[in-house]
Chain A
């Protein structure tokens, strides 16, 4: 419901994260969120710069590729046009993990109406007590002891999203223009009661006044949401499959199927967050044409964001404790109010030069200066024990904690220069240089310089005789680029600070301070990424006026030095985490994109595009003291994402089975497999390759399109599979009827032969459960699965009414369309629908809802 998009163009070059492409809208750095809010109808063009070439102009954040978006200025013919669009989207659960269907609610082989697990006896269709007696402790409820398929789905609603957009445009760039776009989105989530409203306003206007050209943009986004806290998907999954959860839906915390957790229905009403946020962006763009060759641009903008959220938990008073007054699950109330504000101010001062140095040689130059400052403040008040129920305000709390406040500031300055030389119409050489100064790095190290040089050659313009039906146009390009970035260093982190821990000042001691346990090396320097790339674009087979085949091939080789790594050091150093400058990785990426238009006639058109891309990042060095660092760890777990010398990055590491030379699992005399003596690399996060395919067929006004992709060669760890093993829901745990079994391909330690006699799992229900819940679960290898997936991302059918019909009604456009998104996902057998492998960065767990698919109907009118 709250989408956080991440757009990654070419792989995971940086170990420390920050691999997203930069979004630039109308020459100004923006965010993926704003891009997503823009009405597609006001977008003039989207230009994708893969690779680091955009860094010179946009700074180090552009080092992973830049998506340059330009919005329309005015309307096509200058007069006022109005564009209206409405879309209704329905969202439903796409798939749920497979569960075993033989055993129900219970513990250690016995029925247990209090338990969250499925370790009970085999299903037999009999009537058994299910859940806690409710409303009083003698109101026992009976249910049929049998498996219910997908028993948690009834909890979720169908998500509904209604979107309305209106865009007005008038004028043109030369005589003056104004564009206004308003977008309203109303969402009801899958989790009952979750609501979100977003309003977005985008106004831009400009006019040319003699030598001056003035443009202004104002954007405002307001989001209001009311959501349940916690994770309903997880809570619901902690139930055996014989439980009809709709029977426990009254919302009373004791009307539940287990004693040991709060009711998810109770949570919906009593643990919620009310949040609102506002973002304002204002940009002023002033340019002055000094003469025909020189043009100066001053661009200044502010991007300010503020948010307020109130989260509360109502108290629950246990009035009828169960089991002889031993069990009181009263919960206290709690409150938390957070307000944050951030602002970014930046100014660009650029001078563009445009000269014809000679008849054949052209020159485009740029000299520029940028200064950017951001600041952030967050304040939080928490407390507990409401005096009056249902009134959520600090004044209503009986116990208020000390408020907290957090401020941070960062600033940068940059100088940039670029020179592009063109020879006739076929050869271009581009040289750039940029120097950044960053406030968050120490004075001695804060300056970073990075140049680039690239060439592009269009042989079909140089040698016009090769241009013909078969080769319509060709371009070959290559470049060497360096980008230095220090964005991974947080403000203030290079100083070893001390903080006053929670609770201080105490009455007796007054205030006191302890050292932080997270530190950045004070001598840290920016990391440097050097990329060499070559590629070609070919347009071929010109038939009926358009090239029918186009081919893009690109190869790049990238080395990343002095990587700024956030690592988990030994806690004996006094630190829980440290950010240091070491490590280097090498990335090789190769992409080939083939577009073809097999059919193009007056009525029919068929386009298709196939892309193949592969990239691989290998770690060359980690630190002087070690070959491996963990970059993502989970509290209390052995699995981690690691960077290890010689291995692909990111890699999944964890515990594994000890195996002998023949690959047999080594078990002890008690039948339990023995865990490996070190953490092993269990898989890679990034796919070996990705194939994407999209196609559309047009007939008269109809367009039918589809997009799908296939990625393979990678793995992921499923936290859901781990949880299923613990609660007895996993298919593996029921395979042998829960009788002790011979572990396939195993060998007893020291025996040297394949095991055919020693049983695993003990000989009681309790020992079998312990085997799965403890031994099996402690081996991370068991939960690493093939992350291969074929996803049908979208199938869309639309119809555009033709000009004749439109003229009669007085419209300029009328489109209707339906689309299905995330329609189907094909997963390999071993991934039993546990997780969508794309979510989680390699370590997947429960999201707030299972994976979903959606269907949208939209109508678009313009006049």
Chain B
């Protein structure tokens, strides 16, 4: 019996000793990735900026440019190009990546804002607030009510309740003001360096960007806001407080001509890094895009035609109507594509490393022009801002200042194109439509929804509907993952019903 006891004891001791070796089980620290809570905001900023920019440049531009009548599809290269967009086949899976990507990736901005370490990162937090507000506004503009106040809590709250669009808009102003305030009182805050791939740490430019977003938030409400309220929000702001010449809000972390490092618009609509995959054949200008530039609509030749689009095989310009099939298309001269101004015409290092554009200078000026026109900006000058907007767009495309000035002079009295032509709002919106072509697509579409201008952009061929869509449907991920909160599945018809508070 003693021997037995000994053996039992030995067996148990071995077991006991081994289990008390907790260190055997302490292998759950990831050797591949650091833990988020240990990463300081300066290391979180560039990544947060990159993902959100990619979605804006690639996806939002595509959505807006097809819906605003700017892009046609090259039917000789692809079967059914932009088929879902032109047929208005809007469902819960249509562009659902926009919602998913922006919500998941703006959580990184929230992580910066919520960083709880001791050091003073208020500059970084202000930048994160501004960018988060920028994308949040777009989400409200595209969907209406969205989860907002309780989003980004990860596993603490997996099914997030919805908040009202009007309340969110008010909070956007509050957030932007809070950020502007943080920047104004930032003594002692850690300086932002080249981790900020937008303004390289220049906080005065961030303040200007914040003001410009505020301007956009106000102008977007033009159908519902009172002039007095608008003036209050924009009180004291002058042209120098907004994004101006050479201050475009662009992102460039150091793009290079390598896989996964090219500028996003070029990567999707230009060429692959090794030049082997040609992607710039898909987009062709709509016939309308050509008509507003080649004098058909305005009787003035707009030199931007040369930089926005490439010539066809006969040295002219051929566009295509949305929804046109190969069967009825006269392809004798070939077709035009996007040109040098958009940086996708040729496989080159310069094109592959262009800045990615989030907000153009032109957009800032046209917002100011409209705000002055409506009396929201008491210190504004509609004509100045209008002309500057055109000049800024010429500059972005690579046209000369002389060309810009000639055009401005010639277009001034043309109805629907120049301020002295009769309908000022229509002129502002028309020039803005041209300036937002491709690189500001989503703004062009939202402005058409809001103002109704330009009002002669044709709908896609074979389109049985008589109106454009005015919003997107809540995505698949909400229907599957937020069942208790998401408004019930909408049908395609709902995309044409104006429910967002400002439209």
Q: What residues of chain A have their CB less than 8 Å away from a CB belonging to chain B?
A: 107-108, 110, 112, 114-116, 259-260, 290-291, 293-294, 296, 315, 323-328, 330-333, 349, 351, 367, 369, 371, 373, 382-385, 398-399, 401, 405-413, 415, 437-440, 442-443, 446, 491-492, 494-504, 506-517, 519-522, 567-576, 578, 580, 623, 625-630, 633, 636-638, 640, 642, 655, 668, 670, 674-679, 766, 770, 774, 778
Contact = CB atoms under 8 A, between A and B. Distances in A.
B324 interface: no
Nearest to A636: B93
A442 B274 CA distance: 46
B103 A498 contact: no
B27 A410 contact: yes
A294 B158 contact: no
Contact of B256 (A383, A415, A507, A633): A507
B277 A369 contact: no
Nearest to A409: B27
Interface in B5-64: 7-8, 11-12, 14-15, 18-19, 22, 24-37, 39, 43-48, 50-51
A478 B153 CA distance: 47
A514 B105 contact: yes
B476 A570 contact: no
B32 A510 contact: no
Contacts of B281: 326-328
B211 interface: no
A371 B24 contact: yes
A397 to B, nearest CB: 9
Contact of B153 (A373, A385, A494, A573): A573
Nearest to A439: B25
Contacts of B488: 677-678
A512 B35 contact: no
Interface stretch (B258-266, B287-295, B403-411): B258-266
Nearest to A371: B18
B146 interface: yes
Give the most central of B327, B476, B481: most A CB within 10 Å: B481
Contacts of A508: 194, 197, 252-254
A371 B46 CA distance: 44
Given A506-B254, A507-B254, A496 B276 contact: no
A406 B477 CA distance: 28
27 contacts: A260-B79, A324-B76, A324-B331, A326-B74, A326-B331, A326-B334, A333-B276, A351-B7, A384-B273, A385-B274, A399-B259, A439-B28, A492-B30, A492-B33, A501-B47, A506-B197, A506-B256, A512-B43, A512-B45, A568-B477, A568-B480, A569-B158, A572-B147, A573-B107, A574-B103, A675-B491, A677-B488
Given A326-B281, A332-B276, A514-B44, A296 B11 contact: yes
Interface stretch (B84-92, B434-442, B445-453): B84-92
A857 B201 CA distance: 75
B220 interface: no
A369 B25 contact: no
A509 B254 contact: yes
Nearest to B461: A766
A574 B44 contact: no
Contacts of B24: 371, 373, 411, 413
B28 A625 contact: no
B274 A399 contact: yes
A294 B194 contact: no
Contact of A290 (B7, B35, B258, B272): B7
A330 B276 contact: yes
Contact of A679 (B78, B194, B197, B480): B480
Give the most central of A260, A293, A332: most B CB within 10 Å: A332
A496 B154 contact: yes
B276 A315 contact: yes
A328 B278 contact: yes
A332 B482 CA distance: 41
A521 B8 CA distance: 40
Contacts of A443: 22
A344 to B, nearest CB: 14
Contact of B108 (A291, A515, A626): A515
A385 B74 CA distance: 27
Contacts of B194: 508-510
A326 B76 contact: yes
Interface of B: 3-4, 7-8, 11-12, 14-15, 18-19, 22, 24-37, 39, 43-48, 50-51, 74, 76-79, 84, 87, 89, 91-93, 96, 99-100, 103-105, 107-108, 110-111, 146-147, 151-155, 157-160, 194-195, 197, 252-256, 258-261, 272-278, 281, 313, 325-327, 331-332, 334-335, 462, 464, 475-486, 488-491, 493
A774 B87 contact: yes
B35 A496 contact: yes
Question: Which 9 pairs, one residue from A and one from B, show the smallest C-beta to C-beta distance?
Answer: A332-B276, A507-B254, A508-B254, A574-B107, A570-B482, A569-B158, A512-B46, A385-B274, A506-B253
Nearest to A116: B79
Contact of A514 (B32, B108, B483): B108
B33 A499 contact: yes
A140 to B, nearest CB: 17
B481 A567 contact: yes
A573 B158 contact: yes
A570 B485 contact: yes
Contacts of B39: 498, 513
Contacts of A294: 4, 7
Given A399-B258, A495-B30, A515-B36, A655 B153 contact: no
A815 B11 CA distance: 50
Nearest to B34: A498
Contact of A670 (B50, B462, B464): B464
Contacts of B78: 260
B76 A510 contact: no
A623 B159 contact: yes
A498 B491 CA distance: 38
B154 A573 contact: yes
Given A331-B277, A369-B18, A407 B104 contact: no
A517 B45 CA distance: 17
A491 B36 CA distance: 16
A477 to B, nearest CB: 30
B4 A572 contact: no
A533 to B, nearest CB: 30
B100 A506 contact: no
Contacts of A678: 479, 488-489
Nearest to A288: B7
B480 A514 contact: no
A343 to B, nearest CB: 14
Contact of A633 (B74, B464, B480): B480
Contact of A574 (B104, B261, B475): B104
Contact of B14 (A114, A369, A636): A369
A496 B158 contact: no
A515 to B, nearest CB: 5
B155 A580 contact: yes
A332 B11 contact: no
B74 A676 contact: no
Contacts of A324: 76, 313, 331-332, 334
Contacts of A511: 43
